[in-house]
Structure 1
Amino acid sequence: MNYKELSDVFKILSNDKRLEILDLLSCGELCACEIQKKFNVTQPTLSYDMKLLKEASLIIERIDGRTHYYNLNQEYFEKIRNIFNKLSTEKANCCCHR
């Protein structure tokens, strides 16, 4: 993952509703209808947010018949965690040479 990709992810996460959706999904897989009821949003609004989260690789979609299920993409969140760990601990590439 490069910094441009990470920046794009943060743009998507700048929406509080999307952050709430991710928080809800941290408890496990949910169908779109459960998420829609929880946030009292229209289906098109939810579809748009889920599309953005999916395109950013933050969530995984599973379709069973006409029902769409969503879950966090744990592997992708691990990549994000690794970047922050690197930024907070790695000094070998520091340009200031302190």
Structure 2
Amino acid sequence: MPHTGSVNAVSLFHALSDETRLAVLEELKEGERCVCELTEAMKAGQSRLSFHLKVLKEAGLILDRREGRWMYYAINPEAIESLEELVKTLKRAAKSGGAGRRCC
């Protein structure tokens, strides 16, 4: 059974594995955006975009807040830090090449 960090990694990488979700994150790089702005920028229907926003939110990659009848979305800096740490760990492991470990 994977430990909690692995489960989080699976969720993060799943969320990042889709072109549309990557495009949403690209749109959010400049800061918080209203869902109506995202819908227009992405040239996507509301329901399709909502699905992708839900996946990103569940992975912890974005934050949302309601203002009146609109939802606003922004990148979650803590999630990006976690992602950076995960990549650093993988880079260290790749550089060490698993030295000293042999099968049988």
Per the normalisation by structure 2, the TM-score is 0.82
Give distance in 1, aligned partners of 2:32 and 2:90.
31
Residues 89 and 95 of structure 1: CA distance in aligned 2, closer, same or farther (over 3 Å): closer
1:32 to 31, 35, 55: 35
Which runs of 5 or more structure 1 residues have no equivalent in the other structure?
none
Query: Residues of 1 paired with 2:98 and 2:12: CA distance?
Result: 26
Specify the alignment match of 2:5 in structure 1. Answer: 2
Aligned to 1:61: 64
Indicate how the Cα distance of structure 1 residues 76 and 10 shifts in structure 2: closer, same or farther if over 3 A, else same. Answer: same
Structure (1 or 2) with the larger CA radius of gyration: 2
In structure 1, give the amino acid aligned to 2:72. Y
Q: Which amino acid aligns with 2:70?
A: T
Which position in structure 1 is the counterpart of 2:16?
A: 13
1:89 aligns with 2:88: no
Q: Aligned AA for 2:71?
A: H
Name the CA distance, whole Å, in 2 between partners of 1:95 and 1:52: 34
Counting matched residue pairs gives 97
- Structure 2, gaps ≥5 residues long: none
Instruction: Confirm whether residue 45 of structure 1 aligns to residue 45 of structure 2.
Output: no
Q: CA RMSD in A?
A: 2.1
The alpha-carbon deviation at position 89 of structure 1 amounts to: 2.6
Q: Using the alignment, how far apart are the partners of 2:12 and 2:79 within structure 1?
A: 11
Q: Tell me the TM-score normalised to structure 1 length.
A: 0.87
